[in-house]
């Protein structure tokens, strides 16, 4: 938007014109004000927009087939959902193009509007970290690997420290959600769940360390989301189904697993506060995905959702998790009436609800659209 001059050939600009211009500026979309010129995002399948599918090459993969992508894109598109994922909603709200996956153009892309480095099944900590517990993490594309890809790209498109700092100062970093799979693989392997508490400080410390590294490179705005209430995830509800009513809260979600997520989130919030104190020149935004998701778990009808604890795509059973979501799976209805897409990942509808809470508040500190 052009600026107004108080003096011109015909004399002074009227007060009414000046007031109108101020009102228009304050109410214009953030992207039009040049808030962020690009988004760089890291994480796992929650925001992967095509990196994992690209890695699969020509090999068959269920994510390349319907019903994935059926809602918004009308075709499979590399997202692990029926439609858009969280980073898509952030880009659209900031008046930016959808953020492309990094890997298809890893060595050649200019990425003028940013790039997405997230990969399905990624962890925060590297797989070798878990070797001391004789525990195997099957995917090597942890946060450190993604940051490595990012730095390679940065060196190619913005050589020199000044160029890097300028580019990053105009960008939004979305660092996660990441860390959920560090726990998912442990719980999924039926390992002693109480032992997972010992991973929290290292998972959180890993996220904080990479956030600090990005700030050191020149990043001025980093959003760090927390983890979801995994006790309300259909896959968990099915895998850890219990005959003890005390294992469930009133919703009914699995009480222990939600408490575990809350413990992780409490530690992450403390790490965000530490980063803020150490970097007063940077904006470190804490996104409360847990709280935003609990909105539609507690009051699904408010958002047009039926039962928030069952999957839209899958099979039979109380949580619709009796089969994988693939081209042969049962789609139980319009995904817009569900929170869970495949028993693990969410629908576009659920991501939309969460994104609104992050963009406008109250589920981000500060709300993303007020972070400029």
Each residue of 53-96: pLDDT tens digit?
999 999 999 999 999 999 999 999 999 999 999 999 999 999 99
How many angstroms separate the CA atoms of 348 and 362, rounded? 20
Average the pLDDT over 139-163 and give the result.
97
Distance separating alpha carbons of residues 38 and 306, to the nearest angstrom: 36
- For residue 12, pLDDT over 70 is answered with no
Average pLDDT over residues 26-37: 54
Backbone φ and ψ of 197, nearest 5°: -60, -30
Q: Is the pLDDT of residue 24 over 90?
A: no
Averaged pLDDT of the chain: 92
| Residue 29 pLDDT > 60 | no
Give CA–CA dist 67/321, Å, rounded. Answer: 16
pLDDT category of residue 6 using cuts at 50, 70 and 90: very low
**What distances in angstroms separate CA 17 from CA 20, 28, 32, one per listed residue?**
5, 16, 20
> How is residue 145 annotated by DSSP?
H
Structure tokens of 305?
A: 């959702």
CA distance linking residue 268 with residue 338, whole number of Å: 29
Q: What is the mean pLDDT of residues 327-353?
A: 98
Note the pLDDT of residue 372: 79
Residues 126-149 have a mean pLDDT of 96
d(CA 6, CA 55): 56
**Which positions are annotated as active-site residues?**
45, 342, 345
pLDDT over threshold 70, residue 351: yes
Question: At 35, is the pLDDT very low, low, confident or very high (cuts 50, 70, 90)?
Answer: confident
**Cis before residue 67, ω within 30 degrees of 0?**
yes
Report pLDDT for 268.
Answer: 98
Q: Is the pLDDT of residue 3 over 70?
A: no
Band (pLDDT 50/70/90 cuts) for residue 34 is low
Distance CA 268, CA 14 (A): 51
169: left (phi over 0), alpha (psi -120 to 50) or beta: alpha
Q: Is the pLDDT of residue 20 over 80?
A: no
Look at residue 59 and give its three-state secondary structure.
coil
Task: Report the pLDDT averaged over residues 151-165.
Answer: 97
Question: In the numeric block, which tokens belong to residue 323?
Answer: 């089969």
**Of the candidates 195, 182, 36, 11, the residue with the CA atom closest to the CA atom of residue 114:** 36
pLDDT in tens, 215-244: 999 999 999 999 999 999 999 999 999 999
| Between residues 264 and 31, the one the model is more confident about | 264
Sign of CA dihedral 30, 31, 34, 38: positive
Separation CA 119–CA 131 (nearest Å): 22
User: How many CB atoms are closer than 10 A to CB 360?
Assistant: 14
> Each residue of 177-209: pLDDT tens digit?
999 999 999 999 999 999 999 999 999 999 999
């Amino acid at each position: 938007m052009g600026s107004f001059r108080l003096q011109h050939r015909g004399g002074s600009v009227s007060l009414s014109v000046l007031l109108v211009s101020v009102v228009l500026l304050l109410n214009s979309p953030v992207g039009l004000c040049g808030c962020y010129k690009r988004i760089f995002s890291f994480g796992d399948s929650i925001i992967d927009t095509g990196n994992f599918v690209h890695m699969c090459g020509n090999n068959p993969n269920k994510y390349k087939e319907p019903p994935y992508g059926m809602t918004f894109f009308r075709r499979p598109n590399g997202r692990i959902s029926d439609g858009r994922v969280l980073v898509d909603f952030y880009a659209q709200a900031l008046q930016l193009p959808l953020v492309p996956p990094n890997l298809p153009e890893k060595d050649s892309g200019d990425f003028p509007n940013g790039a997405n480095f997230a990969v399905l099944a990624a962890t925060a900590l590297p797989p070798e970290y878990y070797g001391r517990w004789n525990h195997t993490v099957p995917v090597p594309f942890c946060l450190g690997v993604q940051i490595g890809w990012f730095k390679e790209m940065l060196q190619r498109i913005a050589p020199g420290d000044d160029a890097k700092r300028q580019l990053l100062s105009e960008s939004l970093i979305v660092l996660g959600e990441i860390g959920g799979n560090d726990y998912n693989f442990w719980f999924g392997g039926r390992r002693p769940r109480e032992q997972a508490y010992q991973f929290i400080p290292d998972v959180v410390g890993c996220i904080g360390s990479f956030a600090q590294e990005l700030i050191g490179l020149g990043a001025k705005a980093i959003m760090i989301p927390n983890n979801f209430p995994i006790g309300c995830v259909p896959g968990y509800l099915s895998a850890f189904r219990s005959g003890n009513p005390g294992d469930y809260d009133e919703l009914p979600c699995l009480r222990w697993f939600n408490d575990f997520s809350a413990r992780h989130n409490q530690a992450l919030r403390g790490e965000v506060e530490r980063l803020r104190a150490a970097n007063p020149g940077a904006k470190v935004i804490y996104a409360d995905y847990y709280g935003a998701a609990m909105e539609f778990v507690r009051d699904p009808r408010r958002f047009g959702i039926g039962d928030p604890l069952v999957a839209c795509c899958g099979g039979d059973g109380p949580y619709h998790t009796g089969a994988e979501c693939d081209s042969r799976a049962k789609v139980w209805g319009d995904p817009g009436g569900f929170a869970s897409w495949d028993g693990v990942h969410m629908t576009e509808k659920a991501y939309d609800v969460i994104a609104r809470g992050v963009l406008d508040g109250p589920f981000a500190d500060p709300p993303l659209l007020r972070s400029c």
